[in-house]
Structure 1
Amino acid sequence: MAVIVCGLMICVLDSTMLNLALPQMARQWQIDPSYTLWVVNANQIASLVLLLPLAALGDRLGYKRVYLWGMLVFGLASIMAALAPSLPWLIAARALQGMGMAGALSVNGALVRQIYPRGMLGQGMALNSMVVALSTVMGPVLAALVLSQLNWRWLFSLHLPLALWVCWLGMQALPKPRQGSDARGLSWWDVGLNVVMFGSIFLALDRVSHSQGGQGLQWAALWLGIGLIAGVFYVRRQKRETQPMLPLDLLRIPVFALSMGASISAFSAQTIAFLAVPFLLIETHGVSIGRAGLLISAWPLALAVVAPMVGRKIGRIPAGRLGAMGMSLFAAGLCALALLPVGAAACDIAWRLALCGAGFAMFQSPNNHTIVTTAPVHRSGAASGMLGSARHTGQGLGAVCLAGAFVLWPGTEGVAEQRAMWLAVAFAVLAACFSGLRYTPVAAASKN
């Protein structure tokens, strides 16, 4: 678990640190700041399109191999990023980093399932959630400390030694591939269709989120059309497979399908809220940037505190009940933020954000546990890949919804942010409904 925790922390820190460095990059290369967004987008696209193929490869060749190769590629790509002489070089290095990150994240849940005893698996999932929350808090803080004294290139400097350490320790500590692993490779046609489908849909959502006054929607429609056409061929090919890369067969399991729907809805709500809160505090309520950052940290800190406590309850309380309660608390916190009075005190803001974090923690670990354990053991990699895909899908949908709110209500102080919060409440309530519909009795959960 030290290997899993350290690898997860490296990936999350890398994702959360770089946003603060984009203005410095734009100044150094004297380019439009909008072009630097591809430093982030390239990483996200590469990670998204390879999650399912690498998860399927993990089911065939062993999760340990995929994880260690992913961490090695991530570390080497970090050196390329640190030495990048131009923006295109940096974008290519970030895409390679995303490929390595996909290798580590695609089999993360499957490895946790292999490592933990059945009765303690919920605690392992909760530990993952806690690490992600703490890393989310630490990322911007570490980036600010580094960038205040050094160049943005130093943000990548520690990745290689840490990744090499994870690989060295992982070779000794991670569980060996189970006997009877299928040594077959993957169909390049299926990998290509997966890349085109998810990549095109991501680009379509990106175009929608950056469109103004209807401009750019034609490109969004084009990318969406390409993604849908590729998806039709992809799904037809996958239906003939006994162990498909796109695990549609797992969606035939009602509990798994409901958990996936809950995950997508919950991450949509979280993304809308987490992106809208800075605008709400700074632009609408006049909170300073530094103070807003401290207040927002109440959200992931509450998640980090509550997640371990919830982990110990998984298997004792039905996961569907925990998830529904968590999303109900989350929705209540979002409602409180949407109704935040002007001139509210810091403690009045902090408890609302902490309530959101605590509610999400109560939902996330049980829901992840259900997704990973509902699938057969030999399909743990596919379930882990679907878990990551649900997170990416929800985050993309949430970002588009927030952008749509700003397009529909431009120039109206606080209105777009407030209505975006109400949309987040709707997504949270939907996630609570999905969770409540699941039937996961304690006895069945303990057997998994």
Structure 2
Amino acid sequence: MEMLAAKAPVAPVMDGLPPERRRWAVAAIFTALAMASLDTAIANIALPAIATDLQVSPADVVWVVNVYQIALVATLLPLGALGEIVGHERIYLGGLLLFTLASLGCALAWSLESLLIARALQGLGASGLMSVNTALVRYVYPSRMHGRGFGHNALVVATAFTLGPTIASGILAFGTWPWLFAINIPFGLIAIFIGMKTLPPTPRAVHAFDFAGAVLAAGCLGLFIIGIGSAAHKTSPEWVVVELVGAVVLGWLLMHRHRDHPAPMLPIDLFRRPMFALSAATAVCSFAIQGLAFVSLPFYFESVLMRSQVETGFFMTPWPLVVGIMAPIGGRMSDRYPVGILGGIGLILLGIGMALLATLPASPSIPDIVWRMVICGIGFGFFQTPNMKALMSSAPPHRSGSASGIVATARLTGQTIGAALAAFCFAIAGHEGAIYALALGAGFAVLGSAMSFLRLAVAPKRA
């Protein structure tokens, strides 16, 4: 087995950072997180302009989004594991540097091929940011404020998700699509400078990095995402089966390789902890609901309820906006109340909201739609932060990198599964499939809330 020599462990000198340094470190972390979160939405908005400028077909230009997503998801677990060895702050700063340089490459791209290479590198950089993001938050904030820190983390993601289309449209109103990527450069450089000065050193594991295991993990997750996407786009069933079976085989080989490893890259040691396993499964359910909703709702509003594109954009805003408001509230409450109860209540509210959307009257008024979207946002926001805290706090500190990687992997895997299921609903029922997708989301909410309440039985102490 190829190994990379490990450094001696370095323990943090205190519980969190002093207030002044913490504020600057948080500014660096959340600036980079906002950039990575904005980038998918910005790229989606730019696709028509990119296709026209580079003279490529819509089917080909979609790969501008796909290669970013594949590079991001495939490398989350390897980079999270590497962060446990070399330090989470180094992976974060390295990812931020690569993301910034790749943004420059995107802005200067002269062909689809050059843009795809830059976007793949940008996805790899984003993976460096997201794989250790929550692990860094765990060390920046003192333990008594972890819920608040994770709540602020969720607030940044929700705000970026909400403002992404508006920011992209505003930039395109005054400039060309390369500016959508170039705008990352000054913010990235500022965040790198601040981060180098303020991010805390994190513990270093004594085991070595397994390069072969990293390849297996990347191949497993990459093939899984490609397979789910292929199924959603009605690719030949034979190819879908090959891709998904390949993912399963690589995952089995990875588990077999790491069966005696002190810190396996696919963290089977953490999944033996009931609280961690239930929290990860609940996260996948919640983000599958989000994927189902955010793919199906635009079609539902425009094709079933016959609303305009402008109205659809307005109707989509309350969900992420309310998530941004509720996430810090849920985070503060998670410092006082069991996450099993908070998460279960949040998913019940989310399920109620999905069911209410699926049963909208034929000609609903604007308030009829908005208050249902608000309920969904309240439920998702109330669930997200306590669940993130449960995932991170149920893993020992020296496994924070792998736990952080699972946080991001669960989010992206759930969203991918939800989007694929929504596409399947459309395939079997046309535009009316949106209603089935929303109902399916309500079913996922019931399953997720049951798993959340089960955490009360496996948590003798408040998580």
Q: What TM-score do you get using the length of structure 2 for normalisation?
A: 0.92
Query: Which residue is equivalent to 1:218?
Result: 238
More moved, 226-235 vs 241-250: 226-235
Residue 404 (structure 2) aligned to one of 384, 388, 400: 384
CA distance in 2, matches of 1:91, 1:124: 35
Residue 452 (structure 2) aligned to one of 430, 435, 440: 435
Query: Which residue is equivalent to 1:375?
Result: 395
Contact 1:255 1:440 in 2 (8 A): no
CA distance in 2, matches of 1:255, 1:184: 25
Question: Aligned-pair distance for 1:240?
Answer: 2.1
Contact 1:269 1:425 in 2 (8 A): yes
Residue deviations 1:33-57 (CA, integer Å, cap 9, x gap): 0111111111111111111111111
Residue 145 (structure 1) aligned to one of 170, 184, 189: 170
Question: Aligned-pair distance for 1:183?
Answer: 6.1
Residue deviations 1:82-105 (CA, integer Å, cap 9, x gap): 111110111111110011111111
Question: Aligned-pair distance for 1:439?
Answer: 2.1
Residue 282 (structure 1) aligned to one of 291, 302, 326: 302
Question: Aligned-pair distance for 1:444?
Answer: 2.9
Query: Which residue is equivalent to 2:196?
Result: 171
Query: Which residue is equivalent to 2:120?
Result: 95
Residue 272 of structure 2 is aligned to residue 252 of structure 1: yes
Residue deviations 1:183-210 (CA, integer Å, cap 9, x gap): 6542221111112111111111111000
Question: Aligned-pair distance for 1:149?
Answer: 2.4
Contact 1:320 1:440 in 2 (8 A): no
Q: What TM-score do you get using the length of structure 1 for normalisation?
A: 0.95
Question: Aligned-pair distance for 1:19?
Answer: 0.4
Residue deviations 1:194-231 (CA, integer Å, cap 9, x gap): 121111111111110000xxx52111112122222222
Residue 254 of structure 2 is aligned to residue 229 of structure 1: no
Query: Which residue is equivalent to 2:94?
Result: 69
Query: Which residue is equivalent to 1:420?
Result: 437
Counting aligned pairs with the same residue, the percent is: 38
CA distance in 1, matches of 2:335, 2:460: 8
CA distance in 2, matches of 1:429, 1:62: 38
Contact 2:348 2:379 in 1 (8 A): yes
Query: Which residue is equivalent to 1:312?
Result: 332
Query: Which residue is equivalent to 1:40?
Result: 65
Question: Aligned-pair distance for 1:443?
Answer: 8.2
After superposition, the CA RMSD in angstroms is: 1.4
Residue 147 of structure 2 is aligned to residue 130 of structure 1: no
Residue 139 of structure 2 is aligned to residue 119 of structure 1: no
Residue deviations 1:12-34 (CA, integer Å, cap 9, x gap): 11121110111111112222201
Distance 1:291 1:89, change over 3 A: same
Aligned-partner residue type, residue 27 of structure 1: T
Distance 1:151 1:55, change over 3 A: same
Residue 342 of structure 2 is aligned to residue 325 of structure 1: no
Query: Which residue is equivalent to 1:344?
Result: 364
CA distance in 1, matches of 2:397, 2:461: 15
Residue deviations 1:231-281 (CA, integer Å, cap 9, x gap): 221110011211111111100000111101100011001110111111111
1:282-301 equivalence runs, <5 A: 282-301=302-321
Residue deviations 1:91-142 (CA, integer Å, cap 9, x gap): 1111100111111111111111101111111011111111111111110001
CA distance in 1, matches of 2:335, 2:322: 22
Question: Aligned-pair distance for 1:387?
Answer: 0.8
Query: Which residue is equivalent to 1:243?
Result: 263
Question: Aligned-pair distance for 1:5?
Answer: 1.2
CA distance in 1, matches of 2:184, 2:243: 34
CA distance in 2, matches of 1:24, 1:307: 34
Residue 215 (structure 2) aligned to one of 185, 192, 199: 192
CA distance in 1, matches of 2:75, 2:461: 32
CA distance in 2, matches of 1:399, 1:296: 16
Provide structure 2 residue ranges, at least 5 long, that are not aligned to the other structure.
1-25
CA distance in 1, matches of 2:355, 2:99: 40
CA distance in 2, matches of 1:428, 1:177: 36
Aligned-partner residue type, residue 203 of structure 1: I
Provide structure 1 residue ranges, at least 5 long, that are not aligned to the other structure.
none
3-state DSSP of counterpart to 1:280: helix
CA distance in 2, matches of 1:442, 1:235: 27
Residue 231 of structure 2 is aligned to residue 208 of structure 1: yes
CA distance in 2, matches of 1:136, 1:392: 14
3-state DSSP of counterpart to 1:444: coil
Contact 2:293 2:437 in 1 (8 A): yes
CA distance in 1, matches of 2:191, 2:88: 15
Residue 36 of structure 2 is aligned to residue 11 of structure 1: yes
CA distance in 1, matches of 2:206, 2:255: 23
Residue deviations 1:157-202 (CA, integer Å, cap 9, x gap): 1212211111110011111233xx2365422211111121111111
3-state DSSP of counterpart to 1:375: coil
CA distance in 2, matches of 1:360, 1:366: 11
Contact 1:74 1:101 in 2 (8 A): yes
Aligned-partner residue type, residue 336 of structure 1: L
